[in-house]
Structure formats: structure tokens, C-alpha cells
């Protein structure tokens, strides 16, 4: 079963097997387990990508309680981010912070230097823009390192295929891999998932999800003190090659949590969207998206995203069944405040169950689960699932950007790789995306560009 063809074959075969991937791939692993920190109980951590997400992940790693753990190396391409993260983490975890100046690294090759400070079985955190995820994961596997990587983990078909193969390589070395889709570690959502699977709201009819807020993912003119490559890396929400745009980065959680409740992945996406209120921004995003995802049994997931000022805001996910309905997310990733209702009117008088409050923090729970798996040598590899969730998200984005119905197999096997030489980037070298003579970057043109997003 530990075969990349499992992911690259027919959609039908793929959908039948994805629910068993984690357990089967772990059992198929025949490699000798790495012993963390050369046999001691100490786990060492390297942080690659020192923005807010990376700093938060490192703090949660250092907050685990199952044994000694230290942060020993940090890397970024931006000195100001590195310095802020150093000061923040040193202040927050003084006893677990061991990153002297000689283990603080800058540059596109800094990830290697940070991971070189670790021993097999230690942990590397990847919180850079997702374009770099496969590059860093490749090196971590070579070094025998366990990994925590932020979502999304891919931005297009070619990088998804690459990550799926790397997930298999990690299994062969018995490496533990966490992916930052922390909602799946939420105790409330786990209980809701069980109740939905047990039929508490009847047969599932459809899902709805909303991520609607203010203006986001914009990009002004490139500052004179930044190279083109650094500019596009820094503004990763604005450019498809570096971050998958705001659609991939913002919306993956709610798309993934609905697919989890369904226990399936969509087989196609039909979408609309428009770029109406971006002003003078140079980004590649639309400011509104509406996606109809279809599962193999015909069930629908309707997703609406909007980034426009002055409009109704909503952050929520809902499941509807033949006997009732459920709230998957209320107003944020945490607390979810999940609830079940009789019928379709989600009113207090119709509520039949709610998860007790306060809820444990899923951002910490995902780290507790990963570190426990490392220390107890339990099967744990979320890389394939994270790659699939990223691809399904990109499928909806591609449907909106091309104006075509996009099927799962189509985007998985698509040949347009947004940044094929991302592993060769240098600070002053050419950027993956070039502006036109008017100083603007290419944007999606649905109906005109039908086979690629730009």
C-alpha cells in the first residue's frame, strides 16, 4: 500500500483508500525508528520561518509537557522577523530557549543550516510560505528529522504530487509529521465528527462554509530596499506561486473540516469569482469567491469567500442532514462551540447537544499529539492528508480563476507548476513571477485563460 500510485491513480480508487492512508502507511513502514536526540529524552527544535505563525508553533512546541524540549536554531530570510521572534520566544520560554547568535540564520539556504543543528529524531518546524514546503521537507527526510509544517503544504498539482511521494519517504523512515490543520485535533470537533458519523443528524445532505471579511491579500508597489524575489516571498498572500493566494491560505481550514465531517474529498469544483474592488493593488487574487464542491455521492459543499470592506462578515461552517443540522465552526478556528440541532433552524430551542465550554486549545493539542507520538514511537504522519487538503482547496481556486469545472484528477495531474525552480531561489536572483511592461503582474482571466490560472 505504500505506493505513490495510490494517489496518482483513478479518482474512484483514491477516494476509497484515503480513509485508510494514515494507518496503512504507518504499518507498512519497515524502517528502523530513529532515536530522538541520540538516545536522550531531550527533543531539540529548529524553527524555519519566524513570522507570527512560526513563532506561535515554536511556543506551543516548547509548551508540551511530556519531557524536556528546547529550541536550538532559527532561520528566516527576513532579519526583522528573525529578531522579533528571537526576542519573543526568549522572553516567553527562557529556560527552553537556546538559540545563540551563531544558530540564528538568514537567507534562502538558512533552512539547511538550522536543520544541521539537529540530530536525527529532533523536530523541524516549517512556517515559511508553502511554496518552500517540499524543499524543506526533502532535506528533513534526508536528515531523519520529525516535522511540523504549517498549512497549506502545496499550491498546485506538481507540488502536490511531490509532497505525496515525500510523505511515503517519511513513512519509510518512520518519521512523525504534523500538519497545521489543527481543527482536526479539536476535542469538540472530534466529538461532533463521531456524532455525525453515528447518524445523529441523519443522512448528510449538504455543507455550507463562509470566510467573509475585510480587504486582504493586497500588495502595493515593491519597496526600493527589497529584491523582487523577497518582495513576492514577503507578500505571499498576494501571489499564487508563493502562497496559493489568499484563497488557499485563508480557506483551507473550513474546506478541510467540512471534508472531514463528510469523511470524503470532493471530486470536482464549480466556481465563480471576481476582481472588482482591488484598487491599485498588484496582487493576483479575486476579492470574492463562490465554490460548489461535489463529492462522489453527489453531496455538495458550498463555500463562499469574500475580502471586501463594508460587507457582511461571517466565519462559520455548517453541516445539514435529513434529521438535523450542526455547527462545525462558529466565528473562529477556536473555540468552535460546536452544536447539534433538530431540523434546519439553528435556534437555542432546537439545540440537542453542545460541547462543554471552555474547550482545550487545538493549537496546543496538535503539538501535544505530535510530541507524544515521537516520544512513544506511535504512527503519525499527516503529510499526505495535508497535501490532499491543499490540493482540494486549490481545485476550488482554479475553478474560479479559469471559469471551468475542475475535477480532482485534472488538477492533481496538471503540469502548471507555479515556481518550478523554487529550490534554486536566491535573494537577488530572478523571481518566479514577472511583471508586465505596465508594472502589473498577471491575474486570472476566467474564460480567456481556461487551462491555467495565469
| Cα–Cα distance for residue pair 420/406, rounded to 1 Å | 22
Do 121 and 137 belong to one domain?
A: yes
DSSP 173-219: TT--EEES-GGGG-HHHHHHHHHHHTTTT-SEEEEEEEEEES--S--
What percent of the chain stands above pLDDT 90? 91
Residues 94, 232, single domain; the answer is no
- Tell whether 319 is covered by a domain: yes
Q: Is residue 22 over pLDDT 50?
A: no
- The answer to whether 126 and 136 have CB atoms below 8 angstroms apart is yes
Residues 106, 226, single domain; the answer is no
Q: Is residue 423 part of a domain?
A: no
Range of the domain at 312: 187-356+400-411
> Alpha carbon of 187 to those of 238, 336, 360: distances in Å?
33, 10, 7
Q: In terms of domains, do 147 and 264 share one?
A: no
Model pLDDT, residue 14: 41
| Secondary structure (3-state) at 153 | coil
**Is residue 283 domain-shared with residue 150, that is, in the same domain?**
no
Does 212 lie in the same domain as 108? no
Q: pLDDT at position 354, please?
A: 98
* Structural domain count of the chain: 2
DSSP string of 235-295, one letter each residue = TTTT-HHHH-HHHHHHHHHHHHHHHHHHTS--SEEEEEEE--S-TT------SEEEEEEE-
For 330-346, the pLDDT digits (tens) are 999 999 999 999 999 99
- Calculate mean pLDDT across residues 427-439: 95
Q: Considering the chain, what is the average pLDDT of its residues? A: 92
pLDDT tens-digit profile of 75-103? 999 999 999 999 999 999 999 999 999 99
* Shared-domain flag, residues 326 and 382: no
Do 178 and 258 share a domain, yes or no? no
Same structural domain, 211 and 150: no
Examine the domain organization and report whether 163 and 267 are in the same domain: no
167 and 37 together in one domain: yes
Residue 31 has pLDDT above 90, yes or no: no
At 193-248, the pLDDT tens digits run 999 999 999 999 999 999 999 999 999 999 999 999 999 999 999 999 999 999 99
In a domain, 224, yes or no: yes
* CATH assignment of the domain containing 175: 3.40.50.720
Greatest CA separation for the chain: 62
**Residues 299 and 378 occupy one common structural domain:** no
CB atoms within 10 A of CB 419: 23
CA distance 267 to 293: 8
pLDDT value at 420 more than 60: yes
CATH of the domain at 269: 3.30.360.10
Confirm whether 439 is domain-assigned. Answer: no
Q: What is the pLDDT of residues 281-316, one digit of tens each?
A: 999 999 999 999 999 999 999 999 999 999 999 999
pLDDT of 186 over the 90 cut: yes
Query: What's the pLDDT tens digit per position in 150-168?
Result: 999 999 999 999 999 999 9
Amino acid at each position: 500500500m505504500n505506493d505513490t500510485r495510490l494517489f496518482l491513480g483513478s479518482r474512484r480508487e483514491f477516494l476509497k483508500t484515503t480513509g485508510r492512508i494514515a494507518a496503512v502507511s504507518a504499518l507498512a513502514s519497515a524502517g528502523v525508528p530513529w532515536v530522538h536526540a541520540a538516545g536522550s529524552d531531550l527533543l531539540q527544535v529548529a524553527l524555519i520561518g519566524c513570522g507570527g505563525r512560526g513563532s506561535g508553533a515554536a511556543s506551543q512546541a516548547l509548551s508540551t509537557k511530556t519531557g524536556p524540549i528546547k529550541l536550538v536554531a532559527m532561520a528566516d530570510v527576513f532579519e526583522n522577523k528573525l529578531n522579533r521572534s528571537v526576542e519573543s520566544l526568549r522572553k516567553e520560554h527562557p529556560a527552553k530557549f537556546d538559540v545563540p547568535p551563531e544558530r540564528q540564520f538568514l537567507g534562502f539556504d538558512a533552512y539547511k543550516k538550522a536543520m544541521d543543528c539537529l540530530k536525527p529524531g529532533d523536530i523541524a518546524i516549517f512556517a515559511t510560505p508553502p511554496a518552500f514546503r517540499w524543499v524543506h521537507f526533502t532535506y528533513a527526510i534526508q536528515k531523519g528529522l520529525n516535522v511540523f509544517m504549517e498549512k497549506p503544504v502545496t499550491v498546485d498539482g506538481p507540488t502536490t504530487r511531490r509532497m505525496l511521494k515525500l510523505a511515503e519517504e517519511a513513512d519509510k523512515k518512520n518519521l512523525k509529521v504534523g500538519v497545521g490543520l489543527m481543527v482536526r485535533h479539536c476535542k469538540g470537533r472530534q466529538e461532533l465528527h463521531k456524532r455525525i458519523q453515528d447518524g445523529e443528524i441523519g443522512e448528510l445532505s449538504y455543507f455550507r462554509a463562509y470566510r467573509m471579511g475585510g480587504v486582504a491579500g493586497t500588495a502595493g508597489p515593491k519597496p526600493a530596499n527589497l529584491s523582487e524575489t523577497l518582495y513576492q516571498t514577503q507578500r505571499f498572500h498576494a501571489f499564487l506561486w508563493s502562497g496559493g493566494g489568499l484563497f488557499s491560505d485563508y480557506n483551507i481550514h473550513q474546506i478541510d473540516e467540512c471534508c472531514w465531517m463528510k469523511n470524503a474529498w470532493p471530486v470536482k469544483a464549480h466556481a465563480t469569482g471576481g476582481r472588482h474592488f482591488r484598487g491599485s493593488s498588484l496582487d493576483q487574487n479575486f476579492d470574492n469567491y463562490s465554490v460548489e464542491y461535489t463529492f462522489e455521492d453527489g453531496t455538495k459543499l458550498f463555500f463562499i469567500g469574500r475580502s471586501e470592506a463594508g460587507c457582511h462578515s461571517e466565519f462559520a461552517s455548517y453541516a445539514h442532514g435529513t434529521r438535523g443540522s450542526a455547527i462545525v465552526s462558529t466565528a473562529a478556528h477556536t473555540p468552535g462551540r460546536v452544536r447539534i440541532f433538530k431540523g434546519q433552524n439553528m435556534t437555542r430551542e432546537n439545540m440537542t447537544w453542545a460541547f462543554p465550554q471552555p474547550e482545550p486549545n487545538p493549537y496546543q493539542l496538535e503539538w501535544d499529539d505530535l510530541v507524544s507520538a515521537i516520544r512513544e514511537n506511535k504512527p503519525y504522519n499527516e503529510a499526505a492528508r495535508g497535501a490532499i487538503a491543499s490540493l482540494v482547496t486549490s481545485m476550488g481556486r482554479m475553478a474560479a480563476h479559469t471559469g471551468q469545472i475542475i475535477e480532482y484528477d485534472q488538477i492533481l495531474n496538471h503540469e502548471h507548476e507555479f515556481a518550478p525552480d523554487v529550490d534554486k531561489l536566491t535573494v537577488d536572483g530572478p523571481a518566479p513571477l514577472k511583471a508586465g511592461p505596465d508594472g502589473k503582474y498577471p491575474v486570472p482571466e476566467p474564460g480567456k485563460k481556461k487551462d491555467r490560472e495565469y
